[in-house]
Structure formats: structure tokens, C-alpha cells
């Protein structure tokens, strides 16, 4: 009978869907349509070939299979749309109370920030001392207002991160079946989808027996289920044992970074006033930073070290680069007593795309050695701690496979002939023999030192990017 062909075809399509479909991947309807359409076409053509039907009838049978395939795929899209519709309406109508509270807190901080900014101008009749005191008070109020405003932004970011983290019971069951073969027991699975649409997976798990399982093996299973390369986050656990742990898995990056540091302390000083920081974040970002404290010696070292420690803590906590720098600047402005200044030079590299974001506050130029040229990136503005309203002009470039980034402090440029510092340094970088970043930084510092004009601390940070 005619209807039996369609039943058999649908059975074939359903079998393909069960065997090879993945929950949430969207390919189930395509597998079912392919199996059903192909099955119907094959049965029709077989019968017509045995009965020696005309060619146009065989073509019509093939087209019938294509039409059946299209109808099933279209029906799948319609069903998905119908399922999504109620959920979207509920989200629009019902706002979670926690989200509402966070939005209220955010607005409160914004209002408080605006109230701090409402400062009257100092009266003309005041003497010089009183005017300086009033101006200092105004700067402190503006710095406090800036901190409150940044807190408002932090709450907004935290709120988005909370609501972009979700559980998936179906996926948990799938990965539980796969990892059971490795002797791993899953307790919780959380997904976080970042703004760049890169997925992070938090697995809380332990082993069933007295064995250890490599997180790299678990990443292979996770990659197969998700259809994309996953890897344990940097500095995460290497093995899972009988103790319950939570391990973060992230998408594999396109690039790797190698870096090297070379420093030279000012003559007569026990320590350098320059400091550096290098770290990675789970979002696939590499950070490198330099800071030059005011003056030299131990005091300058403590200043620059504190700036970079705070910067690293803020960024690892999820703050944006601009928010972190503004918070640090405000805290330095609000410090009583002698003013404290430090330069800030930070670059963040997206290891998925190679895009680099530079932010400089009173820092020296940086340089990128490319295949055919050396590019310089200059900053503007004053060091952190000078003014409550710090000027930050982000500069964005892209690095490619084999490019080398050189970040330097003022002492390096100051050791070169005045008026030609950048051009001479670009020439020195271009003539370096390709090697590891550490050796290239060492050779560059030796060449700068050969000019014999160095009177300040000198630091060179070199970072090279290569495809994985």
C-alpha cells in the first residue's frame, strides 16, 4: 500500500535521528528529513525499475523524495519556533526578582554618583590656600563619584554573567553516560555563554574508584559532544580524583603566546621602580602590563607593584580594563599626603582572533614587529594618580602569526639620542635576529645599553604570537 512507504521512510529517518542526533544541535530535523526522503526515493525507484517504468516517472519519484525531505525539515523549523514562542513571552512578561533588585542597586549607585558630581565652583573671594583646599575637595568628590559609577557598571556586568550561566539537564545526562566509561561521576554541569558566543562549561565531578582521570581526556569527550574543541582552562586541575572538584573547560584558542622579560635597575638603586605583570584569563585573553612608579628605588617599586597587583585582581574578577584602571586611579587620587603617580601600560590579546587592545596612562610607546615593518603604538594622557578624571584612549590593532610585541618603559627610550628615540628603537627591533621573545628582549636591551645614556630603570617585555 502507498502509505506503508511513508511509514517505513519515517522509521528510517527517526532511526538516523536517534543514532546521530544531538540535543540542542539543530541537526536532528535534517537527519530525519534526509533518512525519510532518501528512503522514500529509493523504494519508489526500486519498484519502478523492476516494473520497467518510463524515465519521467522515475524522475518524478526522485522529486517526491526531495519534496518529502523538504517538508520534514520545514516542519522541524515550525515546531522549534512554536516551542520558543511561549518562553520568549514569559521572559518579557516576568522579570526575575533578583534581576530587578540588581537593576535597582545599579540605578541607586548611578544616582549617588551624580549627586557627588554636583559641586559648586570655589568663590572668587577665597584666598589661595582655601582655594587649593576647595579644589582638592572637588577632585576627591569627583574621584568618589567615579568609583560609584564604576560600581554601577560592575553590578550590571555581574547581573549579565549570572543570567548567562545556565544548567542543561539533557546535556548532563549525555556527558554522564560518556564519562561513566572513564570512571567519572558528574554532579553538576553549568554553561556560560559569553558575549562573543564562546562557551564555557563548569563540570563538578569526581572518580568512582581509586583512580585519577586526566582532564584532557574529559575535554576530548566534551569536544565530541559539543561539536567544538574544548580544553581545560589554564591553571585548572590536571587530574580528577575521588575528591569532588569543579573544573572549567573553555573553547580551544587559535593562537599561543610566548613572552620574555629583561630589566635593568638604575645605577645606585637597590631595586627597580619598574614592574610587570603577565597573566591569562579563561575567556581566552592574554594580558601583559608595565608600570613605572614615580621616581626610583623602593618607593617607586612599591607604587608600581601595587598598581599591577590591583589591576590583575580586578581583571581576574571580571572587571573591564577601563573600569579597573579608573578604580585604581581614583584610589591613588584619594590617598592623603604626598601625591602618588604611576604609569600604566596594559595590552589585552584575544587569543581567538589576535585582536590587541592597548590602554596607556602616561606610558611609553609600544612596538609590533610584523613581517615587513615595525609599527609603533603611542599613548596619551597623564599617569594614574594625577587627576581624578583619567584620560584613556583605547588603541586596537591585530597581531598575526609570528608577530612580536615589544613593551618598554620610559627609561629605554630615555637611553637613546633625544628626538630620535622611537625611530632608533624601531630600527633596532627590525634588525633583531628571530629567536625566542626572551632572547630578543635581552639582545635589544644590550643594544640600547650600548648607547651609554641610560639614567633610569629600564624594562622590556617581549611577547610573540603563533598559531596553535
Distance CA 343, CA 325 (A): 11
The neighbour count for residue 288, using CB atoms within 10 Å, is 23
Distance CA 462, CA 468 (A): 19
- The residues spanned by each domain of the chain are 2-93, 97-163, 165-251, 255-467
- Selection from 109-113, 114-118, 423-427 with the highest mean pLDDT: 423-427
Question: Residue 340 in contact with residue 384, Cβ under 8 Å?
Answer: no
Residue 280 has pLDDT above 80, yes or no: yes
2-16, 112-126, 159-173, 323-337: least confidently modelled range: 112-126
Residue 338 has pLDDT above 70, yes or no: no
pLDDT at site 58: 72
pLDDT at site 170: 79
- CATH architecture classification, 255-467: 4-Layer Sandwich (3.60)
Distance CA 208, CA 210 (A): 7
Provide the CB-side half-sphere exposure for 38 (13 A, CA): 10
More confident residue, 59 or 225: 225
Percent of the chain's residues with pLDDT above 90: 23
- Averaged over 434-444, what is the pLDDT? 94
158-172, 175-189, 252-266: least confidently modelled range: 158-172
pLDDT tens profile 135-162: 666 666 666 666 666 666 666 666 666 6
Beta bridge partners of 250: 200, 231
Task: Tell me the pLDDT band of 91, cut-offs 50, 70 and 90.
Answer: very low
- Averaged over 392-409, what is the pLDDT? 91
- Averaged over 99-111, what is the pLDDT? 62
pLDDT at site 88: 44
Backbone dihedral angles phi then psi of residue 418, each to the nearest 5 degrees: -65, 135
pLDDT tens profile 63-88: 777 777 777 777 777 777 776 555 44
Question: pTM of the predicted model, to two decimals?
Answer: 0.69
pLDDT at site 349: 95
2-11, 31-40, 137-146, 313-322: least confidently modelled range: 137-146
pLDDT at site 74: 77
pLDDT at site 64: 75
CA-wise closest residue to 284 among 184, 355, 346? 355
Residue 458 has pLDDT above 60, yes or no: yes
Task: Tell me the pLDDT band of 465, cut-offs 50, 70 and 90.
Answer: very high
Percent of the chain's residues with pLDDT above 70: 74
Residue 98 has pLDDT above 80, yes or no: no
Distance CA 318, CA 227 (A): 27
The neighbour count for residue 158, using CB atoms within 10 Å, is 15
More confident residue, 58 or 98: 58
Provide the CB-side half-sphere exposure for 331 (13 A, CA): 13
Distance of CA 457 to the CA centre of its chain: 32
70-74, 262-266, 335-339: least confidently modelled range: 335-339
Amino acid at each position: 500500500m502507498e502509505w506503508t512507504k511513508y511509514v517505513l521512510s519515517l522509521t528510517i529517518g527517526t532511526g538516523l535521528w536517534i543514532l546521530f542526533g544531538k540535543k540542542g544541535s539543530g541537526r536532528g530535523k535534517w537527519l530525519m528529513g534526509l533518512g525519510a526522503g532518501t528512503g522514500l526515493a529509493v523504494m519508489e525507484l526500486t519498484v519502478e525499475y523492476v516494473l520497467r517504468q518510463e524515465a519521467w516517472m522515475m524522475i518524478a519519484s526522485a522529486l517526491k523524495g526531495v519534496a518529502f525531505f523538504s517538508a520534514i525539515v520545514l516542519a522541524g523549523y515550525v515546531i522549534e519556533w512554536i516551542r520558543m514562542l511561549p518562553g520568549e513571552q514569559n521572559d518579557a512578561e516576568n522579570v526575575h526578582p533578583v534581576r530587578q533588585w540588581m537593576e535597582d542597586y545599579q540605578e541607586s549607585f548611578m544616582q549617588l554618583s551624580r549627586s557627588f558630581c554636583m559641586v559648586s565652583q570655589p568663590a572668587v573671594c577665597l584666598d589661595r590656600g582655601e582655594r587649593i583646599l576647595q579644589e582638592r575637595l572637588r577632585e576627591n568628590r569627583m574621584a568618589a563619584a567615579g568609583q560609584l559609577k564604576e560600581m554601577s557598571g560592575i553590578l550590571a556586568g555581574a547581573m549579565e554573567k549570572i543570567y548567562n550561566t545556565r544548567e542543561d539537564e539533557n546535556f548532563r545526562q549525555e556527558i554522564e553516560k560518556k564519562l561513566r566509561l572513564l570512571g567519572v561521576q558528574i554532579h553538576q554541569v553549568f554553561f556560560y555563554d559569553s558575549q562573543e558566543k564562546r562557551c564555557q562549561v563548569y563540570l563538578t565531578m569526581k572518580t568512582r574508584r581509586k583512580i585519577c582521570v586526566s582532564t584532557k581526556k574529559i575535554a576530548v569527550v566534551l569536544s565530541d559532544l559539543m561539536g567544538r574543541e574544548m580544553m581545560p582552562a589554564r591553571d585548572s586541575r590536571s587530574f580528577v580524583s575521588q575528591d569532588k572538584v569543579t573544573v572549567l573547560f573553555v573553547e580551544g584558542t587559535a593562537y599561543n603566546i610566548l613572552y620574555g622579560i629583561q630589566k635593568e635597575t638604575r645605577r645606585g638603586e637597590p631595586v627597580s621602580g619598574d614592574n610587570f605583570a603577565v597573566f591569562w584569563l579563561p575567556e581566552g585573553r592574554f594580558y601583559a602590563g608595565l608600570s613605572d612608579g614615580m621616581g626610583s628605588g623602593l618607593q617607586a617599586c612599591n607604587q608600581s607593584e601595587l598598581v599591577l597587583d590591583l589591576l590583575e585582581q580586578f581583571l581576574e574578577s571580571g572587571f573591564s580594563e577601563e573600569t579597573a584602571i579608573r578604580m585604581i586611579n581614583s584610589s591613588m587620587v584619594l590617598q592623603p599626603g604626598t601625591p602618588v603617580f604611576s604609569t600604566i601600560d596594559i595590552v589585552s590579546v584575544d587569543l581567538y582572533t589576535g585582536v590587541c587592545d592597548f590602554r596607556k596612562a602616561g606610558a611609553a610607546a609600544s612596538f609590533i614587529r610584523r613581517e615587513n615593518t615595525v609599527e609603533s603604538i603611542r599613548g596619551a594622557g597623564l599617569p594614574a594618580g594625577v587627576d581624578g578624571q583619567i584620560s584613556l584612549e583605547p588603541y586596537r590593532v591585530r597581531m598575526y602569526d609570528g608577530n612580536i610585541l615589544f613593551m618598554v618603559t620610559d627609561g629605554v627610550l630615555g637611553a637613546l639620542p633625544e628626538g630620535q628615540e622611537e625611530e632608533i628603537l624601531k630600527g633596532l627591533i627590525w634588525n633583531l635576529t628571530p629567536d625566542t621573545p626572551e632572547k630578543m628582549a635581552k639582545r635589544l636591551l644590550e643594544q640600547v645599553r650600548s648607547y651609554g645614556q641610560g639614567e633610569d630603570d629600564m624594562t622590556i617585555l617581549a611577547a610573540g604570537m603563533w598559531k596553535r
